[in-house]
Structure 1
Amino acid sequence: MNLQIIEKRNIFFIISSIVILIGIVMMMISGLNFGIDFTGGTHIQIDLGETIPVKEIREITDEFDKNADVIHAGDERNQVIIKTAKSLNSDERIEVFNQFKEKYNLEADEPMMSEQFGPSIGKEIRNKALLAIVIATIGMLIYITFRFEFKFGISAILALIHDILIALAVYAIFKLPVNSSFVAAMLTIVGYSINDTIVVFDRIRENQKLFKKTEYNKLIDTSVSQTIVRSINTSFTTLLAIACLYIFGVEAIKDFALPLIVGVVVGTYSSIFIASPVWYLLKVKAK
């Protein structure tokens, strides 16, 4: 297999640019679909004594908020957690509970947990997530510069920024909910993507020692061709496991698995088609 990555690099850059541009336009027009972790809202947890299908629970919750999140909890999934972006006061929360109490003959006089919270928690999550990404990015840049060279580090960081922008664009285009699970998944993807990129860079460095007079474009094409099967197989097995979590998992697991699926696909794409061409452009410009 002899791929022509460098020759067709502009095609990959254009594809990514179009997706990111569409995402930016969508964010400017309608914004991201922030979950209650960022907007604030109401949290109610009720012990139903048995596992009730989400569809049946929504027959009650839809009267208050059709976009409410319904999650099962407890060892036997006999508890239900209702999260709604609407701020329900104490009387409204009691009314919600009374409807469940009447329908399922509950013995308790009040829910296990009932609280109203503001967007300050989401702001704290966002700030800490940004801080974590910045610290991780600086650490990765230092490591890759020490292990390889500075241009490899810059290329890897630009690929990571590409991954995050693409993921945000996908969530903006399809109006998927952005919540704390999304933030956790993005932090996970940053580590996964950089690992895949380093594998490609390591092969480039090895081939650079073997073929010292080889042009950069041929060097990169050869190196990527040698590692692409490994990258695809690794990503496929990872996706297989995450897809099972998404298909068979509960709602809370699905919220975490979905951004992981998006991130793994985008991370694999950037490691092969974005990071190496960026390094090529930096080397050519320096030369």
Structure 2
Amino acid sequence: MQFFDPKKMNIDFMGKKKFFAVFSILLMVLALVSIFVEDVAGGINWGIDFAGGTVVEVEFGKALTPDQVREVVTSQGYRKNVIQRSVLEKEPGKSEYIIRVERIAILSEDDAKKVEKELRDKFGEKLKEFGFNADSGDQLDLRFSDKVTDKEIAKALADIGEKLRMKELTKVTVKHQGRPEEYRYLVLLTGVAEQLKHAFSEKIPGSNPMIRKVEFVGPQVGEKLRNDGILAMLYAILGILAYVAFRFNIQFAPGAVIALVHDALLTIGLFALTGLEINLTFVAAVLTVIGYSVNDTIVIYDRIRENLAKIRSKPLDEVVNTSLNQTMSRTVLTSLTTLLALIGLLIMGFGEIRDFAIAMTFGVVVGTYSSIYVASSLTLYIDRFLKRLQA
């Protein structure tokens, strides 16, 4: 099946290469400004995967929709959240969700200082150390010089909670740490998971929420994941550079790589400009876009190489135009087929699935464009540059 007859098509793609070169440069500058200048679009909105947060797995005694779960989570102040149905869900009439929110601890650093002051007023010099780290979750590390019972600590924190109006202190779990002669205690506060459990019970009667698992993704882990995602894209681009240079020659490789950088940069810029979350799913989408784009570029490059051997008498501009016209039907059909599947995800998907579809849809359009007006055009410019060096 062909949308365009290569024998009848005669579009002068390369005649407009200067206009589209300027257009591409302007788009890349806009993307860079959106990414690095926070006053323009607020910068990159890092997702929980990269910024850190709490992952809670909850089982409900009744079937709930993702929208119902998201509404309750958002009502607790967690605007940045990810709701995902668990693959472990088996029993009919029940539902299980994995909920990710951006906060690790409910207790803030300022609140912790207030609690420390109240505890020192209560226990005096007996309290030797008070430890709290928001990145470690809702817990306190306490060390005393003399013996203090678990009940005394729990009672003191409950009184402080009522005084400071901190619900997370009214019901705590106190665990002794270290050797018996050491008076060290780990205090587990009512954290994010318990807060969500209470909210579901209150707002959705009969939901009977049960916390199955709680995990924390600290900022350091998030930063490592973010760096690994960036490295994955760089390795993919470098690998493609080596492949194109080996498969064709150095004249073609820079155009393919710059086209990939162009596609990835514009996709990241779109998310920065619109405030959409950048997470591991987004990295997967960008890597897929890179693979799609280079596939389209390789097809065009392969046709250019074939035509260079057949019609050596013609200038390279005409050879590239002929090759683009010959592959246009394949390019359009491939892009439309991919877009049809993505449109379904855009309409029916939600959350990370919808964000993935947005990145892929934009990437397919940009990748098709760059294969023609970035990769192919750069091949001409590099050819002229190499000829000047040889002259």
Q: 1:85 aligns with which of 102, 113, 121?
A: 102
Pick from 70, 78, 84 the counterpart of residue 71 of structure 1: 84
Looking at secondary structure, tell me which structure has more strand per residue.
Answer: 2
The corresponding residue for 2:48 is 36
After alignment, is 235-244 or 43-52 more displaced?
43-52
Contact kept in structure 1, 2:229 and 2:280, CA below 8 Å: no
2:19 aligned residue = 11
1:188-227 superposed matches below 5 A: 188-227=288-327
Q: How does 1:1-287 map to 2 (within 5 A)?
A: 1-27=9-35, 28-29=37-38, 30-62=42-74, 63-74=76-87, 75=89, 78-88=95-105, 89=138, 90-93=189-192, 94-102=194-202, 103-107=204-208, 110-249=210-349, 251-287=351-387
By how many angstroms is 1:106 displaced? 4.5
The higher relative CO (CA closer than 8 Å, separation ≥ 6) is in: 1
Q: Which shifted more, 203-212 or 56-65?
A: 56-65
Q: Which moved more, 1:23-32 or 1:151-160?
A: 23-32
Alignment match, 2:145: none
**Structure with more of its chain in helix, by fraction:** 1
Could you tell me the TM-score, scaled by structure 2's length?
0.68
Structure 1 runs not aligned, ≥5 long:
none
Residues 123-160 of structure 1 show CA distances to partners (whole Å, capped at 9, x for unaligned) of: 22222233333333332222222221111111111111
Residue 273 (structure 1) shift: 1.4
Structure 1 CA distance for aligned equivalents of residues 302 and 23 of structure 2 = 26
Mean Cα displacement is larger for which, 46-55 or 27-36? 46-55
Cα distance in 2 between the residues matched to 1:6 and 1:17: 17
Cα deviation for residue 107 of structure 1 reads 4.5
Cα shift at 1:258: 2.4
Contact 2:62 2:206 in 1 (8 A): no
SS of residue matched to 1:120: helix
Q: Is the 8 A contact 2:57 2:214 kept in 1?
A: yes
Write the deviation string for residues 246-275 of structure 1: whole angstroms up to 9, x where unpaired: 333453432332222222111111111110
Tell me which amino acid in the other structure corresponds to 2:190. D
> Gapped runs of 5+ residues in structure 2?
1-8, 106-137, 139-188
Letter of the 1:105 partner, please give it: G
8 Å contact 1:47–1:79 — kept in the other structure?
yes
Aligned-pair identity in percent equals 35
Cα deviation digits, residues 146-183 of structure 1 (max 9, x gap): 22111111111111111111111111111111011001
Please say if residues 204 and 223 of structure 1, whose CA atoms lie closer than 8 Å, have aligned partners that are also in contact. yes
Cα contact 2:307–2:319 (8 A) shared by 1: yes
SS of the counterpart of 2:83? strand
Structure of greater Rg? 2
State whether residues 167 and 263 of structure 1, in contact with CA within 8 Å, keep that contact through their aligned partners in structure 2. Answer: yes
Tell me the distance in 2 between the aligned counterparts of 1:119 and 1:140: 32
Name the stretch that deviates more: 186-195 or 246-255.
246-255
RMSD over aligned CA atoms reads 2.0
